[in-house]
Amino acid sequence: MTDCIIVGGGLIGMLSARELKKSGSDVLVLDKGEMGQESSWAGGGILSPLHPWRYSDEVNRLARIGHQQYPEIAAALFEESGIDPEYLRCGMMILDCVEQQQAKDWAKQWSMDLSIIDQRSELQRVLPGLSEGYNQGLWMPEVAQMRNPRLVKAAKGSLRALHIPYKEYAMVEKINVENGKVTGVKVDGQVLHADKVLIAGGAWSAKLLQGYSRVPEIQPVKGQMVLFKGKPGLLNRIILAENRYLIPRKDGRILCGSSIEYSGFDKSTSLPIKQDLIESATSIFPALAALEVEHHWAGLRPGSPQGVPYIGAHSEIEGLYVNAGHFRNGVILGIGSAQRIVEIMVS
Ligand SMILES: Cc1cc2nc3c(=O)[nH]c(=O)nc-3n(C[C@H](O)[C@H](O)[C@H](O)COP(=O)(O)OP(=O)(O)OC[C@H]3O[C@@H](n4cnc5c(N)ncnc54)[C@H](O)[C@@H]3O)c2cc1C
């Protein structure tokens, strides 16, 4: 018997497990595949919503926790696992954005550094190599990034170091409920008992709750990305232009993302989207045209209305909790969400 079973070993499940363990609870994490290989692996790792002023105060509050605590959490994960998740404060430039006033108001409300660059020469100084088509930018120097595949590997290593048990290839088929109270889960035909069950199943979270009342409105939203094999120093800032972004990693590789596709649980990639991403990337930063595209992949974001995650107790089933639906922002919101759900679960 475990105090709490977490269904889903993505970033949200793993960060929640660390927080629960810190609070003194026994916890077991279950994943239907290898831990951290779904959306949490596939994402870009930008530590900010793309246009934060478009989000509610609740989302911004969680983002602020991530912004403040990621340097420390990244260092702790590195120390516990021996894997560097590559926290990098590289700044983000949003090109030709017409929402200047909203951006300024947001920066003032959340005490974030943001400036408007409206001279081509200054834009060129901050972003050498930028396409000539752009003349204005919103510069957010405090925005950082993490490297997802390393982040999830480090989080998994941290669970091992903290003696938090997990089981991979353990598909939860059912949440067991008796007399309005959770009793555990059914995994591969076997029953595992727990007083509490936390659903952190990402895009699959609503599926897990099918048949019960108050199923959260979470659905898979596919995002495709391409990776250019660049060299360090070619691009040093995150760039966002309309709905496309470029993220430069420490080793010089550059990601371009991402599509938004409502196509169920289909995770396949497609050539037209690949070509579209490459065209967008090279039209923003022409030097990319000469680079090899090393990789192309897709991930399923846990889409939710307005991108607001579900963090809380199920209103009708005692002992059942949800931490899911982080849509495009699960990395930046992950720490705050994990802390919040654990406050609720142990109160
Ligand atoms: C292309 C792309 C770009 C992104 N960019 C960013 C970004 O720059 N910044 C940012 O903050 N966020 C970004 N995101 C969003 C972020 O990646 C997600 O919000 C976050 O990873 C969600 O984490 P999760 O743990 O909820 O989901 P997941 O990582 O998908 O994990 C859910 C886990 O639950 C498991 N599971 C599901 N069903 C079961 C079951 N029945 N039994 C057992 N296990 C089960 C799955 O196997 C999976 O491992 C991006 C996402 C994508 C796809």
Read out DSSP for 10-66? SHHHHHHHHHHHHTT--EEEE-SSSTT-SHHHHS--BSS-SSGGGS-HHHHHHHHHH
pLDDT at 28 > cutoff 90? yes
In whole angstroms, give the CA distance from residue 16 to residue 152: 13
Q: How confident is the model at residue 104 (pLDDT cuts 50, 70, 90)?
A: very high
pLDDT at 212: 87
Q: Which atom, in ligand 1's list, is nearest to the CA of 326? A: 19
The beta-carbon contacts of 177-185 under 8 Å, at least 24 apart in sequence, are 177/212, 177/317, 177/320, 180/316, 180/317, 180/318, 181/317, 181/318, 181/319, 182/317, 182/318, 182/319, 182/320, 184/5, 185/5, 185/7, 185/30
In whole angstroms, give the CA distance from residue 324 to residue 201: 7
User: What DSSP string describes 251-289?
Assistant: TS-EEEE---B--TT-----HHHHHHHHHHHHHHSGGGG
What is the CB < 6 Å shell around ligand 1? Answer: 7-13, 30-33, 38-40, 42-46, 171-172, 200-204, 208, 223, 225, 257-258, 299, 301-302, 324, 326-332
pLDDT at 347: 84
pLDDT at 170: 98
pLDDT at 190: 95
Q: Which atom, in ligand 1's list, is nearest to the CA of 173? A: 41
pLDDT at 242: 87
Q: How confident is the model at residue 29 (pLDDT cuts 50, 70, 90)?
A: very high
- Tell me what the mean pLDDT of segment 226-241 comes to: 97
Tell me which residue of 97, 25, 11, 43 sits closest to 221, measured CA to CA: 43
pLDDT at 89: 98
Cis peptide bond prior to 258, omega within 30° of 0: yes
Contact yes or no for 257/277 (Cβ under 8 A): yes
Contact yes or no for 277/256 (Cβ under 8 A): yes
In whole angstroms, give the CA distance from residue 211 to residue 339: 28
Each residue of 47-88: pLDDT tens digit? 999 999 999 999 999 999 999 999 999 999 999 999 999 999
Q: Name the segment(s) of the chain with CATH classification 3.30.9.10.
A: 219-303
Q: Name the segment(s) of the chain with CATH classification 3.50.50.60.
A: 1-87+146-217+306-347
Instruction: Map residue 157 onto helix, strand or coil.
Output: helix
In whole angstroms, give the CA distance from residue 14 to residue 35: 9
CATH (residue range 219-303): 3.30.9.10
Give the distance, in angstroms, between the CA of residue 2 and the centroid of all CA atoms in the same chain. Answer: 27
From 15, 40, 41, 151, give the residue whose CB has the most ligand 1 atoms within 8 Å, as the site to mutate.
40
Q: Which residue puts its alpha carbon closest to atom 41 of ligand 1?
A: 172
In whole angstroms, give the CA distance from residue 160 to residue 195: 23
Q: Which atom, in ligand 1's list, is nearest to the CA of 31? A: 44
Question: Any idea what the Cα angle at residue 303 is, between residues 227 and 331, rounded to 5°?
Answer: 55
In whole angstroms, give the CA distance from residue 76 to residue 12: 17
Average pLDDT of the residues of the chain: 97
Q: Which atom, in ligand 1's list, is nearest to the CA of 257? A: 1
Query: Full-prediction pTM beyond 0.85?
Result: yes
CATH (residue range 1-87+146-217+306-347): 3.50.50.60
In whole angstroms, give the CA distance from residue 274 to residue 257: 10
The CA 303 to ligand 1 mean position distance, Å, reads: 10
Q: How confident is the model at residue 213 (pLDDT cuts 50, 70, 90)?
A: confident
The beta-carbon contacts of 50-53 under 8 Å, at least 24 apart in sequence, are 50/94, 50/240, 50/245, 50/328, 51/94, 51/97, 51/99, 51/103, 52/106, 52/110, 53/99, 53/102, 53/103, 53/105, 53/106
Q: How confident is the model at residue 155 (pLDDT cuts 50, 70, 90)?
A: very high
Q: Which residue puts its alpha carbon closest to atom 49 of ligand 1?
A: 10
